[in-house]
Amino acid sequence: MFINRDIDDYQEITEGLSCKVITYSVDKEDADFTAKNISFDNECHGSFDLYVNGEKKEHYHLNVVGLHNVSNTLACLALASLYGIGSDTIQRALTAFHGTDRRFELKGVKNGFTIIDDYAHHPTEIAATLKAARNYPHKTLWCAFQPHTYTRTKAFLKDFASSLALADKVILADIYAAREKDPGDISSQNIADELKKLGKEVFYFHSFDEIEKFILENLVHGDLLITMGAGNIVEIGENILKA
């Protein structure tokens, strides 16, 4: 069994297992596979030294962003070791992999500010993406977020607020209903209210046209905008770049 040593319920999951347990971690030195000397370039791509059972092995550079992808890579390295895959082959594969569409995808630059799009729509994903964005050169980190479904928004309301608070300023769109009908008891205003309790500057608009107008009027050279959500919020960045 391969397991992330950094997760909170690691002990609960592994206690009593009869199979061999192989651990990986970006934080705990007692894991079998650990990443040390982690750094990020100006595009948030990670680099790290791989240690196996405390012994330094190789240095790896990634073409995907964020600490969460360093952790994901450790899991891959642990599995690769089981099959005897060499470090040269691994590095070639890592170099060739640039991530997937709508995962910290650079859309372009408008009036000197950078637009990135990401599919994140769960609080954990949002936090990971915004933490990664902190390593990207910027003046102000803006997040334009479109919540996905009413039930998810209601269930994770406070978690959404705490994750979005990692941005400097937040722009909220209406909830993307997907398959659901509006129950009338939850909206993006609820997230805005929670963010204000955390002392964050937040702006809520009902239409993409309003959001695009606000962005063009308020973002400045050097700012970083991340459009985020599993709905159609990607259209905002694309429309701004066409304007």
| Burial zone of 98 (CB within 10 Å; 0-12 exposed, 13-18 middle, 19+ buried) | exposed
**CA-closest candidate to residue 123, choices 167, 155, 163, 177:** 163
Look at residue 101 and tell me whether its pLDDT is greater than 80: no
E strand or H helix that includes residue 39 = strand 33-40
**Structure confidence by residue, pLDDT tens digits, 164-202:** 999 999 999 999 999 999 999 999 999 999 999 999 999
Grade residue 104 by pLDDT with cuts at 50, 70 and 90: confident
**Residue 144 near residue 171, CB atoms below 8 Å:** yes
Average pLDDT over all residues of the chain = 94
The one-letter code for the residue type at 201 is E
Task: Tell me what pLDDT residue 136 has.
Answer: 84
**Residue 196 near residue 164, CB atoms below 8 Å:** no
Grade residue 208 by pLDDT with cuts at 50, 70 and 90: very high
Under CATH, which number does the domain 105-242 receive?
3.90.190.20
Per-domain residue ranges of the chain: 2-96, 105-242
Grade residue 135 by pLDDT with cuts at 50, 70 and 90: confident
Instruction: List all residues 6 or more positions away from 205 whose beta carbon is below 8 Å from its beta carbon.
Output: 171, 172, 173, 211, 214
The architecture in CATH of the region 2-96 reads 3-Layer(aba) Sandwich (3.40)
**CA-closest candidate to residue 150, choices 128, 172, 181:** 181
- Paired tokens of 110: 């408008």
Task: Tell me what pLDDT residue 138 has.
Answer: 87
**Residue 26 near residue 51, CB atoms below 8 Å:** no
